[in-house]
Structure 1
Amino acid sequence: MTTFLKSFFCFTITDHKVADCGNFSWDDITKRTTNFSTQIASGGFSTVYLADSGFTAVKIQPTCTDRLARIHHQELEILVRLRHPNIVRFLGHSCDDKEQDQRALLFEYAPNGTLHQKLQPQYHLTWKTRTLIAFQLAQALEYLHGIQIIHGDVKASNILLDHHLNCKLCDFGSAKFGFTSMVLPPSSTKMNRIVMGSQGYVDPHYLSTGLVSKKNDVYGYGVILLELITGKEAFDFEKGEKLTESMSPVLNGAVGVEGVVDPRLRHDDGFHLDEVKAMLAVSGKCIHPSPMVRPCATQIVASMRNKFLSLAHL
C-alpha cells in the first residue's frame, strides 16, 4: 500500500472527519479471531469471523485480482469517513504485505444478527421496534447522502441489529462517492453490465439506464418498509415474485392494507393501523418508477417524525 493511502486512513481529508482506526498485522488478525475459528457470515466476496471474545467482527476479503483490490480500497476510503450511530462502526484494517491475496476489515460486532434474520417466522419484532429501525435507517441514509456517498446495496441483510435492536447499516462494498455516476457507458449491454444491488431491491430505473444515484438507495429503503409491514422477503424465490409486485394492488389502493400486515403484529399493543398506512404511503413514494418523484432521505426522516408517535421525541 502506498504511503499516501496509509496516511489517508489516519487523517482528515478535504475537511471530512474520518473514523479512528487501527492498522493490524495479519498475525494480529489471526490471534484476535483465534485462528479464524468462528465464522458468523459469508457473502459473494467475503467471509466474516468473530474476534475479541465476541466484541469485534472481522471481514476477510480476497484482493487477488485488480478489480477486487480496487473494490477493497474504495470501501476503505469510504469507511474511514463514516461516523454515525446507525452505521456499523469501523475499527481498523489489515494491509500486511505478506498476505497479498486477502485483506481484513474490523467492525463492531452486532449480536442480534440482521434485520433479514429477525423478520423470519421464528422471531418477533414489535411494531415500535420496526418503526424505530425504519427511522434509524432513514437517518443513516440522510447522513450518507449529505456527505455525497451512495450505499448501493440497501437491503435487510445489510442492516445489523445491536444489543438493543438498533439499526447498524453495513457492507459498503458497492458504495460510491458522488450523487450520480454511470456503472458502464450507455452503449454497454445489460448482459455485460455489473449490476449493483440485490434481487428484489434493485431500482428498475438503474437497471434500464445504468445510472447510479442516491435515489437507488431510496428505492431499496422503500422495499425494506414493505418487508417491515408484511414480514415477507423482498423476493419470493418459490413464486419468482418481487414483494413490490405482490404489494402493487395495496399500494394502488385496490386492496386494503389490513390483509397484508404481518400476522405477528395483530396482537401487538403498540401496533397502529394508521401508522402502517403512513409507512405504506412513504414506501409507495420511495419505489415510484420515476426517481424524480421519490423523496430524499431528509424528507423521509421529517415525514416519519411527524407521523409516528413513538418517534416524535427523536
Structure 2
Amino acid sequence: MASFLCLRLKLRRKPVRVGESGFKKDPGPARMTKQQISKLTMSFSRSRVIAFGGFSTVYLGKFPDSGVAAVKVIDSGSSHRLSAVFRQELQILQRVQHESIVSVIGYCDEGEEGVLVFQYAANGTLHENLHGRWDSLLSWKQRMGIAYQLAQALEYLHERCDPQIVHGDIKASNVLLDSQFNCKLCDFGSAKMGFSSSVQPPLSGPEMIDGGAINAATRPKCGRLATRMMMMGSPGYTDPHYLRTGIATKKSDIYSFGVILLELITGLEAVSSSDCSEKLVCKAKEMLKDESKVTAMLDPRLDVRNNSLGVEAEAVASIAAMCLVDCPTLRPSASDILETMRIRVPSVGFSFSKDKGAA
C-alpha cells in the first residue's frame, strides 16, 4: 500500500506548535499530539479513509486553511514487531530530504498507534495511473520523467545518504504522483540503513517463502529455511536473488526498478490481477533478449507510430534488461541508470536540467 514519506534527523522531542497547515518553520517533521491528529481526520472518520493496508489505515487530513495531508495510522500496539517497524520508518523519514521522495509533515507516537502525516499526492500512485481507476493517460514523456526521477531518488538513497538506505519495496503503488505528475517515492516501512553492502530483510506482513505466504503454525524453528521464510516484498517486483538467499541489497531495489520500466513500456501490471503466477518479467522475456521486439509489446495507448518513441522504448528496454539480470553484481547502479537515460532517452531532458539532490 502506498503510504507517504521523508525529512531530517531529529531526536525525540516535546510536542511543538504547528501552523494552520501543519508545516513547521524549522526543519524536520513536527511531533504532534493525538488530539491534533484527531482534528485532522475528523475523529478518524470512515468518510476520510483513502486507503487500507494490512496493519494501517490512511486518512485524508484537512487543515483549517484548506490544506490537505495523508495521515497513516499504524496499529503498532498489536505487535512489538510492528512497533519496531514504525520506529524504524520514522527514523529513516527523519533523515532524508529529496525532491523525488514524499515529505513527512509530522508524526504522533502517543498510545499504541503510530501515526505519520505526509504530503498529499494529488494524482495518486503510478499503479493507479497505469492500471487503475484514473482516467488520465500518462504520456511517454511523463513516463520517462517519472522513471528518471525515481532513479534520482534511488541514487540519493543508495549513494548520497550516509549511511546508505535500501528501500526494500520499490513498486508502482509506492510511487506517488503530485499535481504535476512528478515522482514522490513513498513507504519506507521495509527500508534499512547503515549497511555497507546488504541487509537481512525485515519481517513485515505475512511471512514469505519464494513469494508465497506460509502458515505460522508450520514454520520451522531453526535453520536456513527458517531464515528464508522471513521474506517480504511484493509479487512481481521481488529480486529472485533475494528470494533465494534472504539477503536484500541496493541491487534488489534496482531489480524492482527494472520491473517498473517494463510497466512503463508495456502498460501491463507487474503481476496479472487474475493470475499471480503470470509475471510481467516472464511475459517480456523475449523483448528483453531482443530490443527489436519492443514495439510489439509497447502500450497500445501510446502513439506507437512515433518512430522516436520506438527508439527510446528500445533503449529503456535495454536498461530494464540490465536491471533484471539474475546476478546482482552485474546490475547497474542508480547513477549508471541516470547516465544511460541522459544519453539514450531524450524525453527525460526536462528532468535533468537541474539534478535533484538533497535539498
Whether the TM-score (by the shorter chain) exceeds 0.5 is: yes
Cross-structure match for 1:51: 61
1:165 aligned to which of 181, 188, 191: 181
Of 304-313 and 77-86, deviating more is 304-313
Q: d(CA) in 1 for partners of 2:305 and 2:57?
A: 37
User: What is the aligned counterpart of 2:336 among 268, 283, 299?
Assistant: 299
> 1:1-314 maps to which residues of 2 (within 5 A)?
5-7=11-13, 20-37=28-45, 38-52=48-62, 53=66, 55-64=68-77, 65-96=79-110, 99=111, 101-120=112-131, 122-146=135-159, 147=161, 148-177=164-193, 178=195, 179-183=197-201, 187-189=223-225, 193-239=229-275, 240-253=277-290, 256-266=293-303, 272-312=309-349, 314=352
Paired AA for residue 70 in structure 1: A
Give deviations 1:18-52, integer Å, cap 9, x for gaps.
95110111010000111223111111221111112
**In 1, distance between residues paired with 2:30 and 2:304?**
47
Does the C-alpha gap of structure 1 residues 292 and 95 become closer, same or farther in structure 2, counting only changes over 3 Å? Answer: same
Name the CA shift for 1:31/1:218 in 2 (closer, same or farther; >3 Å). Answer: same
Given that 2:72 and 2:115 are in contact with CA atoms closer than 8 Å, whether structure 1 keeps it comes out as yes
How far does residue 276 in structure 1 lie from its aligned partner after superposition?
0.2
- What SS does the corresponding residue of 2:180 show, helix, strand or coil? coil
Partner Cα distance (2:279, 2:35) in 1: 45
Cα distance in 2 between the residues matched to 1:108 and 1:270? 38
CA distance in 2, matches of 1:86, 1:115: 13
Q: Shift of residue 174 of structure 1?
A: 0.2
Alignment-derived partner of residue 14 in structure 1: none
Give identity over the alignment, percent.
43
Q: Secondary structure at the match of 2:59?
A: strand
Distance 1:191 1:268 in 2: 50
Q: Secondary structure at the residue paired with 1:257?
A: helix
Structure 1 length as normaliser, TM-score?
0.89
**How far apart are residue 305 of structure 1 and its match?**
1.1
Q: Partner of 2:335: helix, strand, or coil?
A: helix
Paired with 1:94 and 1:141, the residues of 2 have a C-alpha distance of: 27
AA aligned opposite 2:167: H
Q: Secondary structure at 2:225's aligned position in 1?
A: coil
1:179-212 deviation line (CA, Å, top 9, x unaligned): 3122389933168622221000000000001111
Q: Is the 8 A contact 2:29 2:107 kept in 1?
A: yes
Q: Which amino acid aligns with 1:107?
A: F
CA drift of 1:227 comes to 0.2
Given the superposition, is the C-alpha separation of residues 206 and 19 from structure 1 closer, same or farther in structure 2, using an over 3 Å criterion? farther
CA distance in 1, matches of 2:116, 2:182: 22
The letter of the residue matching 1:23 is R
Gaps of 5+ in 1: 11-17
Question: Do the aligned partners of 1:186 and 1:210 also contact (CA within 8 Å) in 2?
Answer: no
Change (3 A) 1:8 1:192: farther
Q: CA deviation at 1:170?
A: 0.2
Q: CA deviation at 1:237?
A: 3.6
- 1:236 aligned counterpart, secondary structure: coil
Cα distance, 1:266 vs. partner? 2.1
Aligned residues: 301
Q: Assess if the C-alpha contact under 8 Å between 2:141 and 2:348 holds in 1.
A: no
Per-residue Cα deviation, 1:129-159 (whole angstroms, up to 9, x for no partner) = 0000000000000000121000000000000
